[in-house]
Amino acid sequence: MRGLRALDRKLLRDIRRLWAQSLAIALVLAAGVAILLMSFGMHRALFETREAYYERNRFADVFAAVTRAPRTLLPEIRALPGVRAVEARITGMAVLDLPDHPEVAVGRLISLPPAGEPLLNVPLLREGRLPRPEARDEVAVNEPFARANGYAIGTVIHATLNGQKRALRITGTVLSPEFIYTLPPGGLMPDNLNFAVMWLPERMLAAAYDMEGAFNDLALALARGAPEADVIDRLDRLLEHYGAQGAHGRDLQQSHAFVDSEIEQLRNMAVVLPPVFFGIAAFLVSMVVGRIIELERSEIGLMKALGYSNREVAFHYLSLAALIAVAGIAVGYGVGAWMSRELAELYAQYFDFPYVIFANPSDAYAVSGVLGLASALLGALRSAMKAARLPPAVAMAPPAPPFYRRGAIDRVIAALRLSQPTTMILRGIFRWPLRAALTALGIAFAVAVLVSSGFMFDSMDEMMDNAFFRANRQDATLVPTRELPPVALDEVARLPGVMMVEGGRSVPVRLRHGHLSRRLAIEARPPGATLARALDADGNAVEAPSDGILISKRLSEVLEAPPGTVIEVEFLSGRRETAEVTVAGVVTQYIGLGAYMQEEALRRLRREGPRLSVIHVELDPARHDDFQAALKELPRLSAPVMLNRARQSFQETIDQNVTVMATIYVIVAVLITVGVAYNFARIQLSERARDLASLRILGFTEGEVSYILMGETLLLAIIAQPLGWAIGTGLAWLIVEGFASDLYTIPLVLERDTFAKASLVVLAAAAASALAVRRRLARLDLIEVMKTRE
């Protein structure tokens, strides 16, 4: 026991003596633990909150929309194998005239059953009450809309229901599992100021939309284990004569798809980033423990001469690594738990959850702790085993001086006629190439972290430029309540402020190639369209040929349908027919899946006359308010999409989210750089203290000696930059691939500024670390250093 206490005291002295190096390693390890905890914690919080919300408020499994179907059909739907519950509703879109709100807003209308609350997609009442079944002027709205506009119970808003303007009084605010992530029509980001979800009595909507005894929206809950695909197929057959557009599961429900995508991204973060930190921490521990053992050879020999076993000696140095790891894990636990909780609260607001079920799972603590401890122990294991195998007589003797032989590199250095300090720097790198390479690799990872995060700014700019300025150049898109003849363009052109108008058509379809399929809408555009366009890979406008279809790159990959492939088109509205078309080309589109045809070609396939379902408008900015006022009075308008609002919302959301993440990554990169550079410089100082002191005695200035110490660290930092750029490019590619989905794809855009900023941050951190060690050089006692044994 006495011997163990002595080793324990030595261990504590070592930790106290190496506190700065230990802290640098612990912080790198803590970053890995914190990110792992944060990712797992956020993933678990979002997943469990969503599942609990879905279960408590009975979120449906299958959704279907029709033009008009009789309620007498419901018994047949309930009798389908696997169906547990059915909710038939009336839904619609309405133009809203909000008090003290100059811009036109849009509302999604959902009916409430005459008796009791809905069976499925139950709205959660937050304030007030739901409208009475017999009321004709009452409405409940989603809480984010009321909060954004400052509306209270009793506020009156005006809505145009199927051409009739009605005054509606707010009786309550609610949240719904159907609208965790609420996007306006044609929007890319939530717009709570201008988009409302509204629940009204079924009797009122039935009268307004001529839906007495009918419905146009259906939600189904399935029995546990019921095959979703079979239920959807049977449901489609029942609804095909009622204007059905094809039933779908939760995977295509807009809100669920966005939340599911976010959960998947958090899972990817937990897999990609933490291993980088744990690997660097293992390398740093290996460097520090290895150097300690080299400096303590005589102490090791004395311990073994006094009877300490190989196991006790190895355990002593492994305990040093374990203490560093425990400190890092403790810090990581604290920071990770705090970050998880704070981000969970932010996600709850961003995704409109009514509550958050948050508890960092014990398995996440266990996994992160075990990985952190294992990385430190693995880093120290080789050096600890080397110390344990040292015979006492060999350990007590000074280590044999390294054998140097003049090689080709030395002759090249000599031929360059470099200064003596520079020559010493280069020889130090080439004589310990593995350590130098690992140090450069560690710094390169810091650069890579910044490159792989910084590219998001340029990528988001490219997405925004593509979606809002090159492909969609209109200021507004008008969506009528039903398809209109082309003459409607003349009516829109006469609205105040309209400078240019273009019509188009959007037809819901299912595209198939073999066993692969996707549901989307084909957009038909007239020849020479200039407001809404498709773009090729170079950003140039491209038109579909008269006998083919253009599809987005993501859709081409999903369907495995390159240009020249014949694909099947199943129309989901009107005549439920199928046709075959040839993929004429692939277009660049980052948001959603896209398919484009010439208007005439689509009419031939459908065997129909010219119709309009969307109208694109270019506006005079000086008459924007006049145009907004006119929209509020259009009876046949369902949902105007104001592109300027969408641009602003997209920019604000991206700027906020990307800036927060970029700040986190800068902190991470600085921790990595400081951990690697500071420890490398400290080891250099401990190894070369006698040499540097000798140079001072021989007349070298303090600046020249400092140059030798700092130069090696900074030279390796400079060498690491191209490697960091390459690794960062690879990580950015992995992020792009990992985030790719049918909702959006991120373009890989890497500008020179991204590489330059990453290098400046890392080089500054490396220089600061080297300067911190240089201060120790200035305080060296030359006489004491020269007394040390070689």
pLDDT the model gives residue 656: 66
Structure-block tokens of residue 743: 């909702």
Maximum average pLDDT range among 253-267, 693-707, 724-738: 724-738
φ and ψ at residue 616, rounded to 5 degrees: -95, 140
Average pLDDT over residues 445-461: 84
What is the β-pairing status of strands 476-478 and 195-201? unpaired
Check pLDDT > 70 for residue 342.
Answer: yes
For 761, phi then psi, to 5°, come to -65, -45
* pLDDT attached to residue 347: 72
The arithmetic mean of pLDDT across residues 88-95, rounded, is: 90
Listed range (86-90, 207-211, 273-277, 471-475) with the worst mean pLDDT? 273-277
- Averaged pLDDT, 305-325: 81
Mean pLDDT of 210-229: 92
Residue 131 pLDDT > 90, yes or no? yes
Structure tokens at 748: 């890989």
Which of 226-240, 281-295, 479-493 is modeled with the greatest confidence? 226-240
pLDDT at 432 over 70: yes
Q: Over the range 681-704, which residues count as b (16 or more CB within 10 Å of their CB) and which as e?
A: bbbbbbebbeebbebbeeebeeee
pLDDT of residue 1: 41
* pLDDT above 60 for 709: yes
Lookup result for tokens 């201008």: 194
pTM: 0.76
Q: Who has greater pLDDT, 441 or 425? A: 441
Q: Which pLDDT does position 683 carry in this prediction?
A: 72
d(CA 419, CA 210): 92
Asked if 430 and 404 touch (Cβ cutoff 8 Å), the reply is no
Residue 308 carries which side chain, given as an amino acid letter? Y
- Let me know if 194 is exposed, middle or buried by CB neighbors in 10 A (0-12, 13-18, 19+): buried
Which of the four pLDDT bands, split at 50, 70 and 90, describes residue 336? confident
Q: Where are the domains of the chain?
A: 1-16+25-35+264-344+357-386+394-400, 91-210, 420-474+643-790, 480-638
pLDDT at 3: 45
For residue 780, pLDDT over 60 is answered with no
pLDDT at 110: 94
What band does 470 get if pLDDT is binned at 50, 70 and 90?
confident
Answer yes or no: is pLDDT of 154 > 90. Answer: yes
CA separation for the pair 454, 466 (Å, rounded): 19
With CA atoms as reference, report the closest residue to 23 among 281, 307, 253.
281
Buried b (16+ CB within 10 A) or exposed e, 143-157: bbbbebbebeeebeb
Helix (H, G, I), strand (E, B) or coil at 418: coil
Give the chain's mean pLDDT: 82
Give the pLDDT confidence score for residue 581 in this predicted structure: 92
In this prediction, residue 414 has a pLDDT band, given cuts at 50, 70 and 90, of: low
Which one-letter DSSP state was computed for residue 469? I
- pLDDT (mean) for 577-587: 91
pLDDT higher than threshold 70 for residue 407: no
What integer pLDDT is reported at residue 71 of this predicted model? 93
pLDDT band at residue 396 under the 50/70/90 scheme: low
pLDDT average, residue stretch 482-491: 86
What per-residue confidence (pLDDT) applies to 744? 79
With a cut of 90, say whether residue 471 has pLDDT above it.
no
pLDDT tier for residue 790 given thresholds of 50, 70 and 90: very low
DSSP assignment string, 537-563: TTS-EE---TTEEEEEHHHHHHHT--T
Residue 6: partners with Cβ closer than 8 Å, 6 or more residues away: none
Phi-psi region of 201 (alpha: psi -120 to 50; beta: other; left: phi over 0): beta
Please say if the pLDDT value at position 454 is more than 90.
no
Residue 2 pLDDT: 44
Per-residue confidence at 5, pLDDT binned at 50, 70, 90?
low
Question: In angstroms, rounded to a whole number, what is the distance separating the alpha carbons of residues 679 and 761?
Answer: 18
Residue 398 has pLDDT above 70, yes or no: no
Q: What is the predicted pLDDT for the residue at 6?
A: 74
Percent of the chain with pLDDT over 90: 22
Query: What pLDDT, on the 0 to 100 scale, is given for residue 468?
Result: 82
| Cα–Cα dist 98/614, whole Å | 24
Asked if pLDDT for residue 406 goes beyond 90, the answer is no
Instruction: Judge whether 582 and 576 are in contact, CB under 8 Å.
Output: no
Contacts of residues 232-238 at CB distance under 8 Å and 24 or more positions apart, as own/partner, are 232/62, 234/80, 234/81, 235/62, 235/64, 235/77, 235/80, 236/64, 238/73, 238/76, 238/77, 238/80
pLDDT tens digits for 9-37? 777 887 777 777 778 778 878 888 888 88
